[in-house]
Structure 1
Amino acid sequence: MKALTALKKVLLLTMISVLSFSCSDDDDPIVVKQPETIAELAMATPDLSNLVAALQRADLVTTLNGSGQFTVFAPSNVAFSKFLTDNGFASLDDVPVDVLKQVLLNHVISGEVKSGDLTTGYGETLATEASSDNNLSIYINTNAGVKLNGVSDVVTADIDATNGVIHIVDNVIGLPNIVDFALADDTFSILVSALTRSDLTFDYVTTLSTSNGTAPAPFTVFAPTNDAFVSLLSELGVSSLDDIDEPTLKATLDLHAVAGANVLASTLTDNMTVTTLGGDITANVTGGATLTDSNGRVSNIVVTDVQAVNGVIHVIDKVVLPKLN
């Protein structure tokens, strides 16, 4: 009987101990993980460690850790390693800080934009063009996933942060020049074909790739769409660009570029003479921005201020022509 009583006491003490522990455990404060900023999320993501190191070197951590809303296209570690190799840098420390800062800002858009809200067209990054301090554009193509400036794909989308969203990308998005945008945007595929025709006596691609600060950059380019070129062929009664002789093609292309000036749409005025590589054309803004060539033909400017690192593009709906005989 005594043994039974002792056993009951042990069981009772055990139950009291368990209950006491449970009550004590319930009273402990519940630790809730606090929401994280873009910078904090990057620091907590192993595959973004190179990005974090770059942000720290460029003194941009505070920017992406503070107020405001941002969309960040975040290059993976592999993407950063490829960027260094492709540009001849042995390490991140070899990249000039001012260049690194602009490259990083070229991956940031103001405001939160989820992947489902991205559409094909031009956005605006926080990077800037030197001569105008205008924000650089970014070409977003959503026809098959999300591709940026024709070189970088979103591989992981919609990582939510308290101050915006992160989309991880597979390549660093370099600072785009005029040619980069022409190649990235299929709207200009016929223009690219014209600029690269093998019999041309002028190297447009090399010239329009000239770095800012080096003559003849920066440039202002009036870029005709594919539809504009198709309309031109019909107007001239020819079936393809190959039917246009080299002197005429070159004279035509020259009329679409201004050297030594980053002319924004806001600076255009009525009856303004625009001096291109091929001669003068006339800009007007009343009723919509237009260009008039020496034949009296009018081209509408349908997209303005696509800002590259070495100049600006304005998209036009009709090819400008030299004086027709």
Structure 2
Amino acid sequence: MKRHLLLFSVLLMLSPLMWTGCKQEEPNPSLLEYLESDARLSSFRELMALTQLDTTLNGSFFYTLLAPDNDAFAAFLAAHSYGSLSEVPMDSLRAIAIYHIQIGWIERSEFTTNYYTTPAPGLDNQPLALYVQNDDGEIVLNNVAKMAPISLTARDGQIHLLDGVMTPPTLLDLLSFAPRFETMYEGMLAAGYADTLAEAQEITLFAVRNEEFAAYLNEVGADSLGEFTRPEQRDLLGYHIMDEFKTYRDMELMAPAQSFPTMNPDRDVISILNSIGTILLNDRGRLLLLDIHGTNGVMHLVDRVLEIP
């Protein structure tokens, strides 16, 4: 009898160990379950529900949510004089919601400094751009939304918490986001093209980096664009805004050489040469970074300041 009791006692002592060894870890919550349970994200959950995008987050695909917290939404509503998310026009609300979703599983470490596409549609349903600035792990999106250092990992994606709400960007916004375009951005403001880049529709901006502007200024014997007269600023900078909406694909498919009007005061034309896959502007400027889409047009990076012929 003692032997049997001892054996039974040993089995009782071993049982918890055996159960522990066989126990499977609980799966992470889904994206929707996180949104429903995390009090910081109740406003983002409401945004998904109001726009009916919550039905998209059904676990069938991986998504990455760029989720502003409740304080961010409160600041957004106050800045735009809305009392609640339900007061925001549905078209605007849906555009904001889609802009905060990325398709696929994107870890925080993958957000490096650059422009990226989003699922949000712009002109001709082209994907609107998002700008990421990553300075030694401090990540800021579109200059308005700082990403929290710790993200939430769901079984069907990632949630990166933000302290700001992003709105779909104009070309003026996209130019302002990147420090590499600071010279051109400040020049556009000084020359009076802010409204053009923010409001004019179906335009193309040829953006030039700071180093190319520095080389140009050195060539003409100036230290800054501030040394130019206002008419000279408008002539030069307006020449980088084309009064046509042209994606890289559009330029690839066009005839070998065509000219289009720019938005400087004299409406000087810019020549686009398509030569076996190479796009040249005025026979010199090469496109480096393509199809950065805003709500009112597209931006391409060009490797030099474009001079009026």
2:51 is aligned with 1:58: yes
Counterpart residue number, 1:284: 273
| Amino acid paired to 1:63 | T
Which of the residues 296, 302, 313 maps onto 2:288?
A: 302
Counterpart residue number, 1:137: 129
Aligned-residue Cα RMSD (Å) equals 2.7
Structure 1 residue 309, shift from structure 2 partner: 1.3
Mapping of 1:81-92 within 5 angstroms?
81-92=74-85
Structure 1 residue 159, shift from structure 2 partner: 1.4
| Amino acid paired to 1:87 | H
Counterpart residue number, 1:72: 65
Distance 1:248 1:256 in 2: 13
> Which has the higher mean CA deviation after the structures are superposed, 145-154 or 30-39?
30-39
Counterpart residue number, 1:188: 181
Question: Where do 5+ consecutive residues of structure 2 fail to align?
Answer: 1-7
Counterpart residue number, 2:248: 265
* 1:178–1:209 CA contact under 8 A, matched in 2: yes
2:154 is aligned with 1:161: yes
Q: Secondary structure at the match of 1:132?
A: helix
Structure 1 residue 274, shift from structure 2 partner: 2.4
* 1:195–1:204 CA contact under 8 A, matched in 2: yes
Distance 1:230 1:109 in 2: 36
Counterpart residue number, 1:10: none
| Amino acid paired to 1:280 | V
* 1:75–1:168 CA contact under 8 A, matched in 2: yes
Counterpart residue number, 2:297: 311
Structure 1 residue 85, shift from structure 2 partner: 1.0
Deviations 1:50-75 (A, max 9, x none): 10011000000121223222221110
Q: Secondary structure at the match of 2:94?
A: helix
Structure 1 residue 207, shift from structure 2 partner: 2.3
* 1:132–1:262 CA contact under 8 A, matched in 2: no
**Are residues 322 and 46 of structure 1, via their aligned partners in 2, closer, same or farther at CA, if it must alter by over 3 Å?**
same
Question: Where do 5+ consecutive residues of structure 1 fail to align?
Answer: 1-15, 211-215
Structure 1 residue 36, shift from structure 2 partner: 2.4
| Amino acid paired to 1:290 | L
Counterpart residue number, 1:238: 222
Distance 2:118 2:88 in 1: 20
Counterpart residue number, 1:41: 34
> Which has the higher mean CA deviation after the structures are superposed, 176-185 or 34-43?
34-43
2:206 is aligned with 1:222: yes
Structure 1 residue 247, shift from structure 2 partner: 1.9
| Amino acid paired to 1:265 | Y
| Amino acid paired to 2:280 | T
Deviations 1:134-164 (A, max 9, x none): 1111001102411101111001433111222
| Amino acid paired to 2:71 | V
Counterpart residue number, 1:5: none
* 2:28–2:153 CA contact under 8 A, matched in 1: no
The count of corresponding residues between Structure 1 and Structure 2 is: 293
Structure 1 residue 316, shift from structure 2 partner: 1.0
Higher radius of gyration, 1 or 2: 1
Q: Secondary structure at the match of 2:307?
A: coil
* 2:27–2:155 CA contact under 8 A, matched in 1: no
Structure 1 residue 320, shift from structure 2 partner: 1.0
Query: Which structure: greater helix fraction?
Result: 2
Deviations 1:15-56 (A, max 9, x none): x9xx99x989x99x9796443222221112110001001100
Q: Secondary structure at the match of 2:160?
A: strand
Distance 1:31 1:254 in 2: 64
Which of the residues 200, 225, 238 maps onto 1:254?
A: 238
